[in-house]
Each structure stands twice: as C-alpha cells, then as structure tokens.
Amino acid sequence: MRYLNDAKVSALPIQIVSDGNDFMGIEISQTYAKIGIDTVFSDLNMEAKKPVLNIHQNHAKLEIQTELPKIEIDQYEAFASAGLKGPIDLTHEIAQRTYGQVIEQIGKIAEDGDFIAAIENGGSPLADIAQRDSVTEHEFDVDMIPKVGPKITAKASQKIRAGREGEGVHNGVEFSLTPGTVNYNYVPAQVNIFLRQYASVRFNYVEDSKIDIHI
C-alpha cells in the first residue's frame, strides 16, 4: 500500500520598484516535497498435522473345558446282598461257608465221640445219634432284600483358564505414536518511507511585468 503526499506549486508575482521608477517583476514558484509510504502487511501461514496414535490390543483368551455330568449307579452290593455275586466274591463266600461247615462237622464228630465214649452213662448212644441225624432241621426266617441300596455317584468338572501366553512385556498392547507437526511461515510487516520529490523554491525574473500589487 502506498500513500503519496501530492506536491503543490504556487507562484507569487512580486513587483519591485527601483529608483528610476522602472518596474521589474520577480515570480517565486514553490514546490512542496512529496513523501511516499510503502506498506507491506504481515502474513502468518500455519500448517498443523494432528498426532496419530495407533493402538493394537490382543483379544482376551478364555478357555473353558467342561466335562458333562455323569451319574454312575453301582448296584453290585445290592445284588450281592441278594446272593447275586461275582465269581470272585462267590468263590470267597463258598470257601468261608465250607470252612465253617467243616469246623462245625469236626466239632459235632468230636462231641459224638465223647457221647459214645461215655458208656458208663448207659443207654444207646448210637441209636440216639442215628435218630438225631435222621431228621434234618430247617430254620426259617423272614428278611428283606436287597439289604444294601445302590451306590450312586455323580461326576462333573469344568476348567476355566485365562490365556496370557505370548503377550510380552506390554501385556498384549502395542502402540505407535506419530507426533504432530506445526509449520509456521511468517512474513513480517514492512513500512518504507521515502522522499518522492524534494521541496524547491524557484525565483523567476520577469521583465516589464505588469502587476496590480505594489510593495
């Protein structure tokens, strides 16, 4: 932007009277100085880039291992109490019963021997023994089976594990940051003042000038 101070020119005729009554004219011209002003306004340009933050996170791992419920019913003891046993237990029971019967029979034979040996008591011990053994005595009893109820067990399991393998020192979170930037371009203001035209005064002599003003 430029501002100019326009010059002004003025002419003032002056008549000087000499001793010989002759007139002579002097014309004075004046030019004002011109000042020029150049102005450049300041300018600020700014360019900014936002920072960028990238975050990558591994998803949580949850492992659930479930074993479906299982109900086991063991009726072996119930059937065994009713006489329905397995081969091993049945063999063991027969062996125990046989052993008991052998001991009982040995005791009976020993007792009969003592009874026969006591002949001094009189009587007929052999006839008595034969009569006793001729009749088999049976014992009857009332009972309920099975005496033992079935064995019922329920099994179920569930395992829960949170996986954290391979996550590293950052616990599975990785990030990268790109910092923001700001660029400035500043043009400062300028004001230049200069003299466009110098001031001047000019005197011009005019011969035989006719003027109306006398000094």
Q: What tens digit of pLDDT does each residue of 129-187 get? A: 787 777 777 777 777 777 788 889 998 888 888 766 555 555 677 888 899 898 989 98
CA 14 to centroid of chain Cα atoms: 102
Q: What angle do CA 186, 192, 194 make, to 5 degrees?
A: 170
DSSP state of 51: -
Segments making up each domain of the chain, as ranges: 1-43+187-215, 78-136
Q: What is the pLDDT of residues 18-38, one digit of tens each?
A: 444 455 577 888 888 889 899
Phi, psi of 105 (to 5 degrees): -70, -35
Q: Are 49 and 66 in contact (CB under 8 A)?
A: no
- Residue 124 clears pLDDT 70, i.e. is over it: yes
CA-atom Rg of the chain in angstroms: 72
Measured CA to CA, the distance from residue 156 to residue 66 in angstroms comes to 8
Res 15: pLDDT:
45
What average pLDDT does the segment 75-88 reach? 83
Res 71: pLDDT:
92
Helix (H, G, I), strand (E, B) or coil at 59: coil
- Residue 8 clears pLDDT 50, i.e. is over it: no
Q: Are 54 and 175 in contact (CB under 8 A)?
A: yes
Measured CA to CA, the distance from residue 44 to residue 64 in angstroms comes to 63
Q: Name, in order, each residue with C-beta under 8 angstroms of 213's C-beta and a sequence gap of 6 or more.
A: 13, 14, 15
Q: Are 23 and 15 in contact (CB under 8 A)?
A: yes
- Which of 22, 28, 30 lies closest to 207 in space, CA to CA? 22
Q: The pTM is what?
A: 0.34
Res 2: pLDDT:
46
Show the tokens assigned to 172.
Answer: 């599975």
Q: Name, in order, each residue with C-beta under 8 angstroms of 67's C-beta and a sequence gap of 6 or more.
A: 155, 156, 157, 158
End-to-end CA distance of the chain: 47
